[in-house]
Amino acid sequence: MAAAFVWGAATSAHQVEGNNIHNDWWEWEVRGKVAYRSGSACDHYRRFDEDFALAAALGHTAHRLSLEWSRIELAPGQYQSAALEHYRDVLRALKQRNLKTFVTLHHFTNPRWFARQGGWEHPRAALQFGQYVRVVAQALGDLVDVWITINEPNIYALKGYWEGVWPPGQRHHWRAVERVTRHFAAAHQEAYRIIHQSHPAAKVGIAQSVVAFLPARADSRLDQLVVQAHNWYYNHRFFQLTRGCHDFIGLNYYYAAGRKFSGRWPFFTPAPLPYPQTKPLAWSIYPSGLTRLLQDFKRYQLPIYITENGLPDADDHLRGEFIRQHIRAIEAAQQQGADVRGYFHWSLLDNFEWAEGFTPRFGLVAVDFATQERAIRPSARVYQAIINQAQN
């Protein structure tokens, strides 16, 4: 690994801060659409300093976090200087510990006023997002090293408009999936332009969810076609809609998924894979999928960051080895020419895992949600040793 390679962990505002009462996810929880309430989550809004002290003590050199739009813009055009000042404190706390700042502008949650007027389906969504971005870039830009405009636009559209399990809860609404995707693309382009206006040297990109799709039958031409279609639609399409507006590629990689051709619409079925699985979310652990994806993403000729990678593993039996193997997978891709510049583990802390609540435990650091006590998991030490070794 080159000396400049950054090592860190990622979080998002609603999952860790607590009491984000002005966004659409809070409303979704209050309406009982999911079985869990985020409540005070990790109380990170107040405890960020001690959490960053842990990250620094664990050898991290960077941290990825998201800003909560609903705290910053309480009503259209009503920007909250106290919230912006809070995020200045947060970013300063990272800088004081020599951690590089990777800042996400949208990580799944929206201000309630924005959701009520139609959310990401609304024709003005991208423009309104741009106005928020302009304010943030001016207020915080001097403290941001790398900007991530939107987290996983593909997951957002599928969960909210196809599976219907996240707000706004629409099911099988293909036209809405398309509209939302296009509005996110316009929003990213707008944000890219706006950030560069005030900060010409800024590094701006997105964090895209990528999956290693694998054919159920390696020798089946039809299964391979299904895999190619998934790879194009799920992994690449957003980059193609926003070509020319990325200073780097941000990839969130968790697992592989099998695909098998079927004779009936939609012409595929999910297929089981022979790899170990995580619990309680049944994800196939497949580190070499990351090497393959990195090879594939070389086509954009841009630096790449792994902006998320992790697993639910409450008893921490798998995490240390999972990290080791995924770092090896990155090194293998680098040896074949992939320009990977950093790795962020998901997550620094156990946190609110959306519709699954607090059950899946993703943290390098365990959180006792009754007492807010933090406990460093052994795998965090494995990660620390990898970081130390790479730097010596």
Distance in Å, CB of 14 to ligand BGC, minimum: 9
CA 265 to chain centre: 31
Task: Return the range that interacts with ligand BGC (CB under 6 A); candidates 147-155, 222-230, 257-265, 375-383.
Answer: 147-155
Distance in Å, CB of 25 to ligand BGC, minimum: 11
Distance in Å, CB of 361 to ligand BGC, minimum: 11
Number of residues forming the site for ligand BGC (CB under 6 A) = 10
Listed in sequence order, the residues at least 6 apart from 233 whose beta carbon sits closer than 8 Å to its beta carbon are none
Give me the helices (H) in the chain, please.
Answer: 13-16, 24-30, 44-57, 69-72, 81-96, 112-116, 125-140, 153-161, 174-198, 221-230, 237-241, 287-297, 319-335, 378-391
- Residues 278 and 313: beta-carbon distance below 8 Å: yes
Binding mask 11-50 for ligand BGC (x = CB under 6 A): -x--x-----------------------------------
Instruction: Tell me which of 56, 74, 135, 155 binds ligand BGC, using CB under 6 A.
Output: 155
Query: Which CB, 275 or 283, lies closer to ligand BGC?
Result: 283
Cα separation, 160 vs 33, in Å, equals 12
Task: Return the range that interacts with ligand BGC (CB under 6 A); candidates 38-46, 151-159, 265-273, 292-300.
Answer: 151-159
Tokens 């580190």, residue located: 287
Task: Return the range that interacts with ligand BGC (CB under 6 A); candidates 148-156, 157-165, 286-294, 378-386.
Answer: 148-156
Instruction: Tell me which of 45, 346, 367, 386 binds ligand BGC, using CB under 6 A.
Output: 346
Q: Is 288 exposed, middle or buried (0-12, 13-18, 19+ CB in 10 A)?
A: middle
> Hey, what amino acid is at 242?
T
Q: Which of positions 161-220 make contact with ligand BGC (CB under 6 A)?
A: 209
Query: Which CB, 15 or 61, lies closer to ligand BGC?
Result: 15
Counting contacts by CB under 6 A, is residue 152 touching ligand BGC? yes
What Å distances lie between residue 310 and 35, 213, 326, 379, CA to CA?
24, 18, 9, 11
Counting contacts by CB under 6 A, is residue 313 touching ligand BGC? no
Cα separation, 43 vs 201, in Å, equals 34
Footprint of ligand BGC (CB under 6 A): 12, 15, 151-152, 155, 209, 252, 308, 346, 353
